[in-house]
């Protein structure tokens, strides 16, 4: 059976990035697109639990495609449900980089993450976009193909975040840059003079060498293997080594012998 590749994004099903990705992916297997009907950028891993979802077939170039009135994570869940068996989830190509702390907000990465949570390898792919023009997907295509070739050889990576600069000069393995939070609140006024706020992502200067941000700043394609388990291993090991590491109970349950129940309750409340 040919490899089944489910493709989603957070820019919406009519984004040029998703067809660009589907074209490259179709060299590696059978492709199906399931994506949000409107843009869902910065929705992270939100799921739609309070209203029903629709799964509507459309034609997108030569690809079987379905649009969903939900989030990227919804799309991957529905797509996997309908297709039965999926071998790979690809998300993107996002119009905008997803580097460093953006990983926490990214709907693009969340679609890949939803795949990984369902036991299917997920790869998120994003690229630089300027105000003036859309990315040149034809120029990026050989790099996307090479990245997929590399990652399909790897058997253990369950979640991978890929970012492409405008003019790549090669590919590098990187780590996520987490040195500084890049969210910024910009205050303003609405037409009635009332205060309003924009939450923006501003570039942080001075990324450390070897990180995703550093690589893309230096025109490398960045591949970052990620993990689902967020446990802080060192902190957990330290906590487990403490003398009180045995299960901690907050309310002490004592067998009520001796003083009356009332007295004990009073004592517990400190009303001796």
Catalog residues that contact Mn ion under the rule CB under 5 A: 10-11, 41, 94
Q: Which is nearer to Mn ion, 107 or 168 (CB)?
A: 107
Q: Which is nearer to Mn ion, 41 or 222 (CB)?
A: 41
Q: How far is the CB of 76 from Mn ion (least distance, A)?
A: 15
Tokens representing 252? 């002490």
The DSSP code sequence of 215-258 is: HHHTT-EEEEEE-S----HHHHHHHHHSTT-SPP-SSPP----S
Q: Which is nearer to Mn ion, 94 or 211 (CB)?
A: 94
Rounded Cα–Cα distance for residues 123 and 158 (Å): 8
Q: Which is nearer to Mn ion, 4 or 21 (CB)?
A: 21
- Coil, helix or strand for 185? strand
Q: Which is nearer to Mn ion, 11 or 74 (CB)?
A: 11
Q: How far is the CB of 95 from Mn ion (least distance, A)?
A: 6
CA distances from 105 to 6, 18, 97, 101 (A): 22, 19, 12, 8
Q: How far is the CB of 203 from Mn ion (least distance, A)?
A: 17
Question: Looking up tokens 């004990």, which residue turns up?
Answer: 264
- Coil, helix or strand for 152? helix
Q: How far is the CB of 264 from Mn ion (least distance, A)?
A: 59
Q: Which residue's beta carbon is nearest to the bound Mn ion? A: 41
Q: How far is the CB of 165 from Mn ion (least distance, A)?
A: 17
Instruction: Give the pairing of strands 195-201 and 183-189.
Output: antiparallel
């Amino acid at each position: 059976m040919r490899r089944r590749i489910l493709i989603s994004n957070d820019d919406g099903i009519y984004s040029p990035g998703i067809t660009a990705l589907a074209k490259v992916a179709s060299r590696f297997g059978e492709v199906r697109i399931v994506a949000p009907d409107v843009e869902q950028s910065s929705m992270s891993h939100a799921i739609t639990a309070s209203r029903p979802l629709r799964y509507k077939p459309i034609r997108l170039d030569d690809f079987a495609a379905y649009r969903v009135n939900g989030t990227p994570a919804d799309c991957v869940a529905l797509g996997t449900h309908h297709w039965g068996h999926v071998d790979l989830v690809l998300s993107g190509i996002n119009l905008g980089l997803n580097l460093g702390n953006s990983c926490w907000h990214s709907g693009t990465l969340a679609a890949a993450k939803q795949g990984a949570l369902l036991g299917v390898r997920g790869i998120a792919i994003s690229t630089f976009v300027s105000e003036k023009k859309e990315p040149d997907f034809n120029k990026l295509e050989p790099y996307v193909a090479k990245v997929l070739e590399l990652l399909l050889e790897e058997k253990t990576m369950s979640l991978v975040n890929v970012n492409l600069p405008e003019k790549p000069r090669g590919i590098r393995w990187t780590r996520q840059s987490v040195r500084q939070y890049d969210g910024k609140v910009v205050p303003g006024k609405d037409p009635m003079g009332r205060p309003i706020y924009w939450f923006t992502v501003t570039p942080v200067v001075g990324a450390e060498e070897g990180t995703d941000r550093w690589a893309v700043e230096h025109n490398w394609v960045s591949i970052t293997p990620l993990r689902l388990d967020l446990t802080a291993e060192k902190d957990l090991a330290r906590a487990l080594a403490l003398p009180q590491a045995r299960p901690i109970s907050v309310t002490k349950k004592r067998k009520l012998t001796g003083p009356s129940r009332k007295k004990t309750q009073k004592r517990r409340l400190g009303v001796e």
